Every structure is written in structure tokens, then in C-alpha cells.
Structure 1
């Protein structure tokens, strides 16, 4: 099956053109770019002095059709003055069967000058103490799908070290913030399932035995692409439901979106404060 996304030299050319477009539209790159998953859109609505650019105007960028994804780049400042970029939409592997959909966006961000990719998502919980509305800092992931967006590449850099995929310094900053503002922040392992169907109770029991704390249908390909590009990575999951077999509630996409909407403002508030904290780190200050 041919890929719906650009590959090889065509992708490289698109990345170069997109990075030029980002620079021309927004100026110098902010240190951090956030991929906004389901439930996190309020974060972009809280930004000030906002500029916008449609994915359709960026060569090679996908146009996902998942409900709740707007497909635009937003650059603005948080209430605390941190300048950030936010991507309102991501390509999911279940849309096409191809896990390379975010290659152009992530490589364009790197070429533009972004240093950190902060990936957010909506997830199902595998732990009873981590119920709907909870926030989970991703400490590691399980690629249950065992697909990689790096398949087919050449060169030794495709053998990316994933032993600390989610940056320790950034996670420490998130923990410190949560403690300071008295916010419950869980931390755990995210498991990537392909979807679009939800998992079976047997699959959830297997993932729990593997050591997973939450499950979802995104993030992992983004993390692999970002680490390959040389970006630092951080991940935040908004828990929208208990995973299959852990509650009597039937799992639907509408349920996910409803819970995400109900918890989104609080999640966005934490994210805004976190971005202020991260942008103040010496390791992220622009020269």
C-alpha cells in the first residue's frame, strides 16, 4: 500500500519549504511546540497575541479529519509571558494505516528551531486510582503496535536510543510545578494501541501486565519522530475514561470528547503554567 504522505526527497523539500513558511509567518521559533490532542484545545484559546497558519498552507503537512482537530498552527504567549507554538491537530495511524503522518510537521518544527515537542493526548486509564479527569505525566511508553515511522530510512541515525524518550529534566519541572500549585499529577507508562476500535478487556489486562498505566491511539509515533529529529520530548495524558473492562460504561468517541471537554479547562490551565516553568529553564533559554 502506497503512503498518503510524502517520503524521501519530496519530504525533505517540503520540510525545508514549511520551515521557511513558519519563519516568514511567525518569526523566530519558540523553544516549545505543543501538539494538542483531544481535550487540550482550550490551551490555544488561552494564548494572547495569537497568530495562526493553516496546515493547508504548509507543504507536506497532513489534514486529519478527526473530530476536534482544527489543523492549524497557533503561536502566542501564555498569561505568564511564555511564547509557544501549538499544533491543533495530528495525523493518527488509524486514519490511513501509515504511522509517518507527523513526519513533515515534526521535522519542520526542528528545522524552524524548536527545541522541545510537548505531546498531549486523551487516554484511557488502566489504574483505578487514576480516574477520568486525571492528568498523567508520561514517563515512558509501550509501542504495542510495534510500528515505527523510521522504517525504510537509511543511515545509522535511524537506530534511535529510546531509553529516555521522555526528557527527565522536563518531567522534574512538571512534578515540581504540580507540588507547588497543589495539583495531583500522576506519572506512568503510556501504551499505544492502533485503533480506531477501542481495546478489548483481554487486551487491557495484557497491557496492564506489561506495566502500562494508560492507553491511547497516538503520541508514540510523534515521540519516535521527534527523538529521531533531535527534539527533546515531553508527554501529558488527560484521562477521559477507564479502559475496557474496568467500568460498566460503554466506550465511545463521544464519551472521550465529552469528558475531555469537561476536564479541558483545568488541563489547559496546568499546561499554561507548565509552559511558563519550562521556558524559564536555563537549558531552553535562547542564546
Structure 2
């Protein structure tokens, strides 16, 4: 059987064998895996320096490589807190880079075979909800709700993410099911672990200053393929469908993690506000005497750039790191 004919289970085991050959026994079976999104690679700096072991993605059999600025492309093993064995992906591969959707999610299979039981996913996302500000953190769940709406929500579960590509057939589980990982038809109504989310809110009260303007929300993430940012019409459509944030990653990893039976915790950092307002018509009276530069300024208003995403990530990185680490300490640390 050639390498191209290997199953995902076999490829994941080959990657694990390669990694474990260079890992001490204490890191052979990490408890938690963290995927660091755009501008959030600083999470890896929280690993204890004396336990840190790194692997370039290019060196790991079958591992997809990241080519995007702000994604270092390395797998980092070590201890978080006092004694939490962990593995961190500093950067991820994206569908828009030319990888297949199952290749994008392949690292999750590797984590499963490493005996990881919890995956923490982070990403940079555009804010669709007008109540979200740049620099806010969003804990992925279904649509945010007031306590008065909670009983209704429990009885009528809203979608926890919008995966339009998956609904149309671009899905990481498409093809023959690999029974070694999970069942043919995995449910996703329980995708975002409630106990873990409870720990996040408890940790937020510990790590965030009452004077901080940064807020923690719970909301719906919409996956889009990219690499273009959304048009105004697309942003309005996604908001009408119930999305609070939009990005180009994470959902294929979540689907695969749940197929593997892993617990999932996912965060978005709001790095820009998506533009929902329509542009003026070309025949509007107010536009007729404006110079070309003024017309360009109207179109430029609110336009997202990758540099903006990275800068917002740097500005909020410390708070994100503190929140993630405190949450994991609350969940795992036995010291």
C-alpha cells in the first residue's frame, strides 16, 4: 500500500510514532491540545521552558504545513501550569492554502492518537454582532442569550456554528468512515463542552481586572473558506442566519474532534468589525460632486486587512493567554 493510500488512522499513527520517538515519557500522552490562531502563538510561550520540545510541521509525517503570516508552523510539547502535559499547534493549515478539508483537520486525528482528551481551539475572527468590540473574546457556543431565554434554549438547541461548506459537501468526514475514530453519523448538538465553558467564566473573573473594557461573550461562529474577506452582503446574510463572528478555520477541527470523542473548547478573538452597511448607489445625489478620493474613502471604511488581524491579536494576546491557562489549571492541575 502506498502512502497516498494510507487511511487517516494509519497516517496519524505514523505521525505519533515519529513524535513519541523524541518525547520523554512524561509527554508521551498530553492531556490537552491547544491550536493557536492568527496572532495567538504567544500561548506557546506559557510552556515551562525546561520541558519544551518543538517540531516543525515539515518534519512530521503527513502533517499539513501552514504558509500564512503569523503562523509559525511548529508543534510544541511541554507542561502548562504546574504539571499539565500539553501539545500546542503554533499556527494551523487552512483550506484556502490548497489543503483538502480533511488535511486541515488531520492534526486533530494525531491528537486523538496521542491520547489527548481535550482540545482548545483559538482563532481570529470578524465581528458580526454589533455588541462585540475589537479585542473582545467570544466563547463559541450557540447564540448568546439572557438567563430568561435559557430554558427555551435548552429545549430548542440553536446551531453552535454555521458550516455552510459542510452542508454543501466540503466536509472533513466525507468518504469512508474510519471506525477507529468514531461513528458514521456523529451528532454535533453537544459540540461545545458545557463544563469547560463554565470553567472559562469562572477563570475570567479571576484573571480580568474589573477596570478592563474587554468583554467575554458566547456566540455562533460561521466558517467561510476564504481567503477573501466577506462582502457586505455576505456579512449581512451570515448575521441574519445567526452568526456572531466569522472566520476561515476551526469548524473542520471541531467536527473532527467530536468525531474522535474529544472535548472541545473554542475561542474567537474579535480582530475587526465586519462591514454590514450597504454602500451607496452610484446615482445618489450626494455622491455626484465628490472627488474620486472621497468615493474611495467610502468603500475603504471598515475594510479588514491581515495586518489589522495580527495587531489586534498582539494587543489581546496576554489576556487570552491568561484566560486559557487559568481555565486549564482549574480543570486539570492537580498540584
TM-score (norm 1): 0.89
1:264 partnered with 2:317: yes
Residues 1:261 and 1:180: Cα distance change in structure 2 (over 3 Å) = closer
2:171 to 143, 148, 153: 148
| Structure-2 separation of matches of 1:82 and 1:219 | 23
**Structure 1, unaligned runs of 5 or more:** 1-5
Q: Does 75-84 or 121-130 show the bigger shift?
A: 75-84
Aligned to 2:237: 206
Residues 1:224 and 1:7: Cα distance change in structure 2 (over 3 Å) = farther
Residues 1:160 and 1:18: Cα distance change in structure 2 (over 3 Å) = same
| Structure-2 separation of matches of 1:264 and 1:80 | 21
Aligned length: 277
Aligned to 1:3: none
**Structure 2, unaligned runs of 5 or more:** 142-159, 210-214, 278-299
- What is the correspondence of 1:100-115 to structure 2 with a 5 Å cutoff? 100-115=102-117
SS at structure 1 position matched to 2:103:
coil
RMSD of aligned residue pairs (Cα, Å): 2.2
> Is the Cα–Cα contact under 8 Å of residues 138 and 216 in structure 2 kept in the other structure?
yes
SS at structure 2 position matched to 1:274:
helix
Q: Deviations over 1:99-137 (max 9, x none)?
A: 112343211111111001111000011122211111110
Per-residue deviation, 1:227? 1.1
> Is the Cα–Cα contact under 8 Å of residues 240 and 256 in structure 1 kept in the other structure?
yes
> Is the Cα–Cα contact under 8 Å of residues 196 and 217 in structure 1 kept in the other structure?
yes
| Structure-2 separation of matches of 1:196 and 1:110 | 29
1:89 partnered with 2:94: no
> Is the Cα–Cα contact under 8 Å of residues 118 and 263 in structure 2 kept in the other structure?
yes
| Structure-2 separation of matches of 1:273 and 1:208 | 32
1:164 partnered with 2:184: no
Q: Comparing both structures, which one devotes a greater share of its residues to strand?
A: 1
| Structure-2 separation of matches of 1:7 and 1:214 | 36
